Amino acid sequence: MNTASRLDSPTIKSAAIEHKTDSERHHENLVGWGMLLPACALLLLFIGIPVLIAFGLAFTNARTISPNPTRLIGFSNFIRLFSDPTFWYALRNVAIFAIVVVPVQAGLGLFLAVLINKQVRSSVFFRTIYFLPVVTSMVVVSLLWMFIYQNDGMLNQVLDKITFGHWQAVDWLNDPHTAMGAIIVMSIWQAVGQHMLIWLSGLQTIPGELYEAAELDGCDAWQQFKNVTWPCLRSTRNMILVTITIAALSLFTQINVMTQGGPRDSTTTVVFEAVRSGFQQQEMGYASAITLVFFLIIMLITGVQRRLTQER
């Protein structure tokens, strides 16, 4: 067999193709890692390194401005944290906020998504209206609702008109019994549009043939929702549950703008307490301990949610 015939043999050709495929695969991997590298660097810079620094500072007496050197104090910050009633008030407030906001915001978002899922002329208008508070700065929204909740604000004036002058004006944000409820209402109003769009994207991935088959089987609207829509929204439902829970537990901006944790710590949250300890009281070690404990709590809650909602 001459040299030309040996080069044209199927074995040599397959080996060359396999070698070329391996080379292309290696090149694609390098390109993929090259594209991923900037994102990994940013995650490491803004998340990984701060987490490690906070973990280290949690075991020290570090202060923002202090003539004394930073030294290790062991678990003193954690002992102080778990004996601090303000921390437990903050956990209670965050728990109440999450328990109310998560189901109400998710349910209301799904209700609005189902309403505007129909291809009608006005659906784009309502999507824009519902989503408008989401793209508005939370600081601006908080300031707006502060005026609404004042003694002479719009809410008290409307209630006074409805009750024909029998309504006693309430200072919603300065009453310990109403402050957290007022923030809950505002927070649901502001973020429900975002989750409405997520629900809507999930609804639009459901094949229309399933609804046609359900109609042929004689299913009414509620049976179609229960047997077709809800099961098909499993992935969307799980994502919304996790995102709303994390956002609810991380409540900060509304508190910082509207109440500053008052009155009488009735609206203090864990994140607000960490920021107040670290930047106002300049106790960075204690603030790091708060954030570390809160990080572990969120990881635990998220893990339980993933366990309960995983597909069996």
Q: In whole numbers, what is the pLDDT of the chain averaged over residues? A: 86
pLDDT at 117 (0 to 100): 82
C-alpha span between 142 and 153 (Å, rounded): 14
Count Cβ atoms within 10 A of the Cβ of residue 102 and give its class: 0-12 exposed, 13-18 middle, 19 or more buried: buried
Q: Which helix (H) or strand (E) holds 307?
A: helix 284-309
pLDDT at 11 (0 to 100): 54
Confidence of residue 312 (pLDDT cuts 50, 70, 90): low
Task: Give yes or no for residue 4 having a pLDDT over 50.
Answer: no
pLDDT at 9 (0 to 100): 53
pLDDT at 69 (0 to 100): 83
Model confidence pLDDT, tens digit, residues 181-198? 999 999 999 999 999 989
Q: Could you report how far apart the first and last alpha carbons of the chain are, in Å?
A: 61
Least confident of 5-9, 134-138, 169-173: 5-9
**182 near 173, Cβ under 8 Å?**
yes
pTM here?
Answer: 0.83
Model confidence pLDDT, tens digit, residues 238-281? 889 888 998 899 999 999 999 998 888 899 999 999 999 988 88
Count Cβ atoms within 10 A of the Cβ of residue 90 and give its class: 0-12 exposed, 13-18 middle, 19 or more buried: buried
pLDDT at 120 (0 to 100): 59
pLDDT at 20 (0 to 100): 54
Model confidence pLDDT, tens digit, residues 62-106? 888 877 788 889 899 999 999 999 999 999 999 999 999 999 999
pLDDT at 13 (0 to 100): 47
Beta-carbon contacts of residue 55 (< 8 Å; ≥ 6 apart): 288, 292
Six-digit token string for 302? 């998220």
Domains in the chain: boundaries: 3-57, 84-309
CB atoms within 10 A of CB 3: 7
Q: Looking at domain 84-309, does it have CATH number 3.40.50.720?
A: no
Listed residue (93, 135, 83, 64) closest to 259, CA to CA: 93
Model confidence pLDDT, tens digit, residues 124-155? 777 788 888 888 899 999 999 999 999 888 99
